[in-house]
Amino acid sequence: MAHSLSGRLLLLTILYVLASTALIFLPAMGIEERDILGDHILSAELSILPFTTPNQDWPDDLRQNLLKHADADEVLLRRRYQRDYFQIGAPHSKIDRTIDLRRERLWRDTLNAMDCLFNGGARTLYVIAPSSIKDASSISIILSEAPVRAELMTYARRVMVAAVFISALTGALVFASLYYFAVRPIRRITGAIGQFHENPEDASRILVATARADEIGLAERELAAMQRDLYGFLRQKQRLAAVGAAVSRIQHDLRNILANAQLASDRLAASEDPEVKKLALRLVTTIDRAIVLATTTLKYGRTQDLPPCPSEFCLKALIEEAATAAMDGRTDIAVSFANRVEDALVVRADRDQLFRVVLNLVKNACEALHGTGAITVTAAHGSGAIAVDIADTGLGMSDIMRAKLFQPFVSAGRPGGSGLGLAIARDLTRGHGGDLALVSTGPNGTVFRITLPV
């Protein structure tokens, strides 16, 4: 519960509401204590007021009766030329706290109130405040803290009860609305993801998006669209797999038929008749190409490359090996090969797979050179990736070829090319989390780039 979204939400809501209640409660106590003391000052002023007019003699018992309502034990009025002292209750021998009400400071009042609530009780207070009595500059009262604290306590209790009630209500409302508007729909989405994950081929598990206009509605619609796409791709893949299996069977039989034809054409090539011999030779090469095409297609259909099994090795050496293999046996060509990769550059990848990638690219470059030109391989460290460029000085490729470059079975130029080299090479680099891309192509040459994450 504490780890679920709703559990955390509940905890946070309670915490925040309590924090905001405390923020209101503390200053409210400060203001209340000031008010209570203000009331005491007012009572004191009212009860001493009759005795501040000159030349009036008051009978003792009347004086005592009036002063009784002063709500203080001693009162001192400071006037321009004199000070009036009124002793009402028992005199206090010592003052524990002095509170000055002449200047209003909320934080001071708050601290005073907290001090009274937590430390107060049996202390004696000396309170000084501005006076509204004519000619008086200030009035001070001395009183015990106990009644002040009792009043403050009553008020605090009332505020507390109200605050707890309000917090509970706000907390419940905030939680309920967040739960209704956010948590519940998110749960619905995560539930839908889990269900779809169990069986993505079941169309009934695709999320039915609601008509909400907010972010959650958007997430629902995007998720539903993604699930529909994925479902479509899976169906398409199933159908393609079926077609592929059929093609594989046909290719397999075709290869056997072609092998028979090859035997016959070999015998024809042995004929004495020069015309027959010439035709037979053409037949042999054509059948050879057909066999190669049938075999590679079969292989591609069956291949399921394993996930890369990475190891660390020197990139330069690997490129050297792959280039040698790519140009192996081609003595008819004058191609210069420059391996400009740093000696010390070590990469982490599946060596066999990277070998196949480089082999395909160098082979293609070699074929594009038609006998003469240069192939250069360079490598550069980027941010978090290594880029290996394979550049040739061939004539480049047409726009049509470029548009379909990495699609399987797309080939131009070389007779007998299966058009699988680049498709496989790209699959392998992407399997590494990298990519294979055409950087540039034109009459001055072509550059392909392998990127590998470091």
- Residue whose CB is less far from Mg ion, 10 or 326: 326
Segment 377 to 396, residues that bind ligand ATP, using CB under 6 A: 392, 394, 396
Cβ closest to ligand ATP, residue 96 vs residue 352: 352
To ligand ATP, the closest distance from the beta carbon of 408 in angstroms equals 8
Interface stretch with ligand ATP, choices 30-38, 55-63, 96-104, 419-427 (CB under 6 A): 419-427
373 binds ligand ATP (CB under 6 A): no
User: Which range of residues in 54-62, 132-140, 252-260, 397-405 is near ligand ATP by CB under 6 A?
Assistant: 397-405
CB neighbours of residue 48 within 10 Å: 26
What does the block give as tokens for 111?
């601290």
Shortest Å distance, C-beta 437 to ligand ATP: 12
Q: What is d(CA 444, CA 114) in angstroms, rounded to the nearest whole number? A: 85
CB of 409 to ligand ATP, least distance (A): 9
Question: Where along the sequence are the contacts to Mg ion (CB under 5 A)?
Answer: 364, 421
401 forms part of the interface with ligand ATP (CB under 6 A): yes
Q: Cα–chain-centroid distance for residue 155?
A: 48
Task: Please count the other Cβ atoms lying within 10 Å of the Cβ belonging to residue 330.
Answer: 12
What are the structure tokens assigned to 311, written together?
């190891």
In the complex, the smallest distance separating the C-beta of residue 217 from ligand ATP, rounded to whole angstroms, is 44
Chain centroid offset of residue 349 CA:
29
124-130 and 385-392 beta bridge pairing:
unpaired
List the structure tokens of 380: 């550069």
Residue 251 lies near ligand ATP (rule: CB under 6 A): no
Name the residue among 452, 324, 447 with its Cα closest to residue 378: 447
**Minimum Å distance from CB 443 to ligand ATP?**
11
Measured CA to CA, the distance from residue 453 to residue 308 in angstroms comes to 13
If one asks whether residue 422 binds ligand ATP (CB under 6 A), the answer comes out as yes
- Residue 131: Cβ within 10 Å count: 20
Residue 128, helix vs strand vs coil: strand
Nearer to ligand ATP, 38 or 416 (CB): 416
Shortest distance in whole angstroms from residue 425 CB to ligand ATP: 7
- 312-371 positions binding ligand ATP, by CB under 6 A: 360, 364-365, 368
Q: Which two tokens stand for residue 368?
A: 């594009």
What would the DSSP string read from start to end of 53-72?
Answer: SSS----HHHHHHHHGGGSS
Kindly tell me which of 216 and 420 has the beta carbon lying closer to ligand ATP. Answer: 420
Paired tokens of 246: 């059929």
C-alpha distances in angstroms, 306 versus 241, 303, 311, 318, 352?
19, 9, 15, 20, 11
Binding at 418: pick from Mg ion, ligand ATP, none (beta carbon under 5-8 Å per type): ligand ATP
Cβ 392 vs Cβ 446: under 8 Å: yes
Decide if residue 47 touches ligand ATP (CB under 6 A). Answer: no
The 3-state DSSP class for residue 89 equals coil
- The one of Mg ion, ligand ATP, none whose footprint includes residue 412, by CB under 5 to 8 A per kind, is ligand ATP
Which residue lies nearer to Mg ion by CB, 366 or 388? 366
CB of 376 to ligand ATP, least distance (A): 12
Partner in contact with 167, chosen from ligand ATP, Mg ion, none, beta carbon below 5 to 8 Å by kind: none
For residue 292, the minimal CB distance to ligand ATP (Å) is 9
Q: Say whether residue 167 binds ligand ATP (CB under 6 A).
A: no
Which of 185, 418, 434, 449 is in the footprint of ligand ATP by CB under 6 A?
A: 418
Contacts of 312 (CB under 8 A, 6+ apart): 346, 347, 348
**Alpha-carbon 339 to chain mean position:** 42
Minimum distance from residue 377 beta carbon to Mg ion (Å): 16
3-state secondary structure of 398: coil
In this structure, the strands spanning 346-349 and 445-453 are: unpaired
Q: Does 446 bind ligand ATP (CB under 6 A)?
A: yes
CA distances from 441 to 319, 396, 411 (A): 22, 5, 16
Query: Pick from 261, 356, 271, 366: which is nearest to 318 by CA?
Result: 356
365 binds, among Mg ion, ligand ATP, none (CB under 5 to 8 A by kind): ligand ATP
Shortest spacing between CB 243 and ligand ATP, in angstroms: 20
- Count of chain residues binding ligand ATP (CB under 6 A): 22
Comparison of 394 and 434: residue with beta carbon closer to ligand ATP: 394
Q: Which spans of this chain sit near ligand ATP (rule: CB under 6 A)?
A: 360, 364-365, 368, 392, 394, 396-397, 401, 405, 411-414, 417-423, 446
